[in-house]
Amino acid sequence: MEFKFGGSELNQKTVLGQPSGLFVLFFTEMWERFSYYGMRALLVLFLTASILDEGWAWPRDEALLLYGFYTGLVYITPILGGLIADKVTGYRKAVVWGALIMTLGHASMALEGFTDSFFYLGLLFLVIGNGLFKPNISSIVGKLYKDEGKKKDAGYTIFYMGINAGAFLGILMCGYLGEKIGWHWGFGLAGVFMFFGMLQFYFAQSIFGNIGLKPDKDDNFIDSTAIEGETEEIRTENKKTSDKVKRQRLIVIAILAFFSIFFWWAFEQAGGSMTIFAGDYTDRVLSDDTAIIFKVINALITVIPMLVISWVLIMLFRQTFGKHPLSNIFLATSFIIIWGVVIWMLNREFTNDVAEVPASWFTILNSLFIIIFAPLFSKIWESRLNPSGPVKFAIGLVLLGGGFAFLAYGSFGIPQGAKTASVSMIWLILAYLFHTLGELCVSPVGLSYVSKLSPAKLVGLMFGVWFFANFLANLLAGVTGSYIDYITENYSMGTFFLIFTVVPIGAGIFMLLISRILVRMMHGIR
């Protein structure tokens, strides 16, 4: 019997037209992103909060620099993590060890009230664990597919939806607990679901067959030159020409990675300067009818995604419970807990007359919009309207710059040097909408093209290179964001956000101009 997908016989059973194993990875990544983004939403807020609010009362510039270094380092360690998996452990062991180390990291941060050392030790564990986890779970996704066509693009987009479902829930739950109850509660909750994500992956991993075992036992990967739609001329190339094709494809990865720096440099202001803007410059206190409207909307955007994700969970149960009961039990337990927290939170909010929107709440809009629009983008990428990868990148950069244009316009009325203001929240909402649409054009597509364009033996390493670009972008995002007070005092808040408008749009236009050259260098990859 010839298998349609890589992995075991059980993996041939589909959920939403995709192999069942994709959704094991979906939920594993979802809980990992829950923990990462839940903690990320609190980091700058905790560091800058006053001592009376149990924070560390750091200056904004120092908090944003630490934020930049931390978020940068969790993207550079995947280079080492990819190499370790490629040469020593295999992808699956790396994912398990990475998840365990991150669980310890979140637990350590939850103990920050005892000593500062626990906080820094937790950050270190998170950096190391991410390095083992992040590139290797993405590599397993790529190996589920035996061809490099549209099905794989759609699979990565669904996987990316899992990433953002976790980010949405993590920011919502950890952010609420951290800001409303206590910082250590938010940090601790992140660790609980990281632990459940590790257990459900560990007890279901046989669904992947040989995928992700030690390199010498992994025979499921199809070399990226054996692609759907490839011409006979490419298939019969001599070795010299084949090396040239591989070299040019690697150059394309490098160029896409370079332009992704401009994207993530601006996009990652979300957890830094945009969070400060939400906390100190945005009108977040609602009363009377507006408070009721917000509570209803907040309840809907919380419950509806939870229902959708729970529905996907039930479909996965139907396909895999018989073979992997322990994995399904751990996954079900995690959902019972998260439903309990959701019901408690919504009940607590509806008993209050006034609604003060948490500063971290705005960052859930990115994940919410991903959940809403990812299925639409997935269908577009599978249709005849599907543009080339470079064109998608160009569109994403322009949309990102457009989002910052709303913030620049909305903040031009803030007096020069002001430390607080009361700007309408509509500008943040519009910014996150456009940033999300841009992200859907760049991030899942980027992961898919790294998998498609990389030679078989370099997949883990090239994912590491991709995340190295993210390291540079996050580091630069923190450094640039740390100048928010300097630019606001000497120019204006509008000028600060205008920088993030002009640069991405300029990069997007340049990418569009060279898109046809890049397509030729991909030699048949679509």
What is the DSSP secondary-structure string of 28-50? Answer: HHHHHHHHHHHHHHHHHHHHHS-
pLDDT of residue 466: 80
pLDDT of residue 354: 81
pLDDT of residue 294: 92
pLDDT of residue 450: 83
Q: Are 363 and 429 in contact (CB under 8 A)?
A: no
Q: What is the pLDDT along the chain (526 residues), one digit of tens a residue?
A: 678 888 888 988 888 889 999 999 999 999 999 999 999 999 999 999 888 788 889 999 999 999 999 999 988 888 888 889 988 899 999 999 999 999 999 999 888 767 788 999 999 999 999 989 988 898 898 889 887 566 787 787 788 788 888 988 999 999 999 999 999 899 999 899 999 999 999 999 999 998 988 764 444 333 333 333 333 333 336 455 588 888 898 999 999 999 999 999 999 999 999 999 999 999 999 988 899 999 999 999 899 889 989 999 999 999 999 889 999 999 999 999 999 999 999 999 998 888 899 999 999 998 888 878 877 887 887 788 888 889 999 999 999 999 999 999 999 989 998 988 999 999 999 999 999 999 989 876 777 788 788 887 787 678 778 878 888 999 999 999 999 999 999 999 999 999 999 999 999 999 999 999 999 998 877 7
Closest CA to 410 of 504, 274, 265: 274
pLDDT of residue 215: 62
Could you give the CA distance from residue 512 to residue 228 in angstroms, rounded to a whole number? 25
417 in the Ramachandran plot: left (φ > 0), alpha (ψ -120 to 50) or beta?
Answer: left
Closest CA to 11 of 284, 205, 258, 217: 205
Please state the φ and ψ torsions of residue 52, each to the nearest 5 degrees. Answer: -65, -30
Could you give the CA distance from residue 339 to residue 21 in angstroms, rounded to a whole number? 24
Could you give the CA distance from residue 376 to residue 363 in angstroms, rounded to a whole number? 21
CA-to-CA separations, 371 to 105, 165, 287, 437, in angstroms, rounded? 28, 7, 29, 11
CATH assignment, 17-521: 1.20.1250.20
> Strands 355-356 and 285-286, how do they pair?
antiparallel
b (16+ CB within 10 A) / e for 438-459:
bbbbbbbbbbbbbbbbbbeebb
pLDDT of residue 260: 93
pLDDT of residue 224: 33
Burial class (CB in 10 A: 0-12, 13-18, 19+), 255: middle
Closest CA to 123 of 39, 17, 6: 39
b (16+ CB within 10 A) / e for 494-523:
bebbbbbbebbbebbeebbeebeebbebbb
- Give strand ranges (E) for 51-175: none
pLDDT of residue 310: 93
What is the DSSP secondary-structure string of 187-250? Answer: HHHHHHHHHHHHHHHHTTGGGGTTTTS-GGG---PPPTTS-TT--HHHHT--HHHHHHHHHHHH
Q: Which residue has the tokens 């295999």?
A: 90
Closest CA to 451 of 147, 231, 21: 147
pLDDT of residue 1: 60
CA-to-CA separations, 443 to 64, 120, 449, in angstroms, rounded? 24, 29, 10
pLDDT of residue 446: 78
pLDDT of residue 239: 53
Closest CA to 169 of 334, 25, 299, 338: 338
pLDDT of residue 65: 95
